[in-house]
Structure 1
Amino acid sequence: MNKITFKLLVFVCILLTGSSATAQTKLFEHPNFETIAKDHKIIAILPFSAKVSLRPKQMKEITPEQLKQLEIGEGKAIQNSMYTWFLNRQKRGKLLIDVQDPGKTNALLLKSDITDLARYTPEELAKILEVDAVITGRFETDKPMSDGASIALGLLVGFWGSTNAATVNMSVHNATDGQLLWNYNKRVAGSLGSSTDMLINTLMRKASRRLAYTN
């Protein structure tokens, strides 16, 4: 094997390793998820916990409060996009349950003075929302994906462009006992555009095959 061939093989290995690291997928499914899901009639999607990791230069141009509001907006954008995804499945007759409107979900949380979801257990939240299961999640990105957040950040720090890396970790918990029924963690690299709808469609394309609420 000559030096050129060896270097080429090393380069290819590095590329393959890098691509697998930027598109990791982890899926957990409770062995009795399908059986438990048969008793579920309605679920709720909670606002996602969001983290937007801006560049140091951008961080200097934005206040901590502005960043906090940006992340809250991103979390709600993911919540709404997930709701839209379920509605589209429902219209095609491929959804076995109902999904609570995010407007009602957020209103009930506000009515109960709940601003920090991490302080409550899944079963506590499900009881307040009067649903059979709750979907929670965490969203991490290096650039905002929702249209409103992208425009706001562009005006603040002069940033425009598509998101090139995002990680979503979402879970389904049973209402009666808070048991984890399903967890999906996926990191996607590449140009995804500025739409959270596109992100959710990309993430759920394969995961939905293992989600007991869809057929």
Structure 2
Amino acid sequence: MKKFLLFIGISVFSIHAFAQFESSKQIYESPKLKDAIKTHKLVAILPFKVTISYKRPPKNFDAAANHDQELKLGKSIQSSMYTYLLRKADNYSVSFQDIEKTMVLLNRAKYTDSLEIHTKDEIAKVLGVDAVIFGTYEQETTKSEAGAIVTTALFGFSKTGEGSITMQIANGSDGELLWRYNKKMNEGLLTSTDDVIERQMRKISRNFPYSK
């Protein structure tokens, strides 16, 4: 029993310490933000641009497969963010466009694979929205899964990598950047896309421009 309690104590302490190493968030607000969001009614969420890298590339690393994984993760972040915002819709002053409709409209305009060469006001016009949420997610794996499992078993947590998420809002009428949030984080063995978005959205809820 004593050993079990000691293990629980070490795990709780370790998880707390693990969280403390995450860097503080950085938030930018345009001087035009407050006036602009008063006119917003419908906002679209774009797939995030994702970069997956490795401190030591795994054996048989496949660049094409890695790129496919980046695209998949970008859409997964889009989906997780939409689900989070939809769950808490009553807390926000705007509605969020269904991501399936967003993707259909982007495909129809042949924008899906070329979002980076279009301005945000061009994208907003195609989608018929007042603003767009977009961003990046960079993930670097620093520890093998096997090593992470051993560390988790011993200490109750394991840092397997580092990530950085940037979430931005652009005005639909002119494409101007209105708001930007950036946060670096430690990634654990059991971290999922839903976990990442849930954790980050909770942290920015007090600063999210559309919060009532």
Residue pair 1:192, 1:198 contacting (<8 A) in 2 also: no
| Aligned equivalent of 1:89 | 88
* Deviation (angstroms), 1:198: 1.3
Taking a change above 3 Å as real, the CA distance of residues 181 and 57 of structure 1, as seen in their structure-2 partners, is closer
What secondary structure does 1:39 align onto? coil
Taking a change above 3 Å as real, the CA distance of residues 35 and 192 of structure 1, as seen in their structure-2 partners, is farther
The residue type paired with residue 27 of structure 1 is I
* Deviation (angstroms), 1:101: 1.2
Distance 2:48 2:70 in 1: 9
TM-score, length of structure 2 as denominator length: 0.77
1:62 aligns with 2:84: no
Taking a change above 3 Å as real, the CA distance of residues 210 and 37 of structure 1, as seen in their structure-2 partners, is same
TM-score, length of structure 1 as denominator length: 0.76
* Deviation (angstroms), 1:159: 9.9
Residue pair 2:148, 2:189 contacting (<8 A) in 1 also: no
Taking a change above 3 Å as real, the CA distance of residues 88 and 124 of structure 1, as seen in their structure-2 partners, is same
What secondary structure does 2:188 align onto? coil
More strand per residue: 2
Q: How does 1:102-121 map to 2 (within 5 A)?
A: 102-114=99-111, 115-121=113-119
Q: How does 1:100-179 map to 2 (within 5 A)?
A: 100-114=97-111, 115-143=113-141, 164-179=161-176
Distance 2:147 2:77 in 1: 21
State the percentage of identical aligned residues: 35
Residue pair 1:83, 1:99 contacting (<8 A) in 2 also: yes
| Aligned equivalent of 2:12 | none
RMSD between superposed Cα atoms in Å: 2.4
Residues matched between the structures, number: 181
What secondary structure does 1:177 align onto? coil
Runs of 4+ displaced beyond 3 Å: 158-164
Unaligned runs of 5+ in 2: 1-16, 150-157
Given candidates 166, 173, 181, the residue that maps to 2:178 is: 181
| Aligned equivalent of 1:99 | 96
Map Cα deviations across residues 20-64 of structure 1 (whole Å, 9 max, x no partner): 6x4131100123322211111100010000011134341x42322
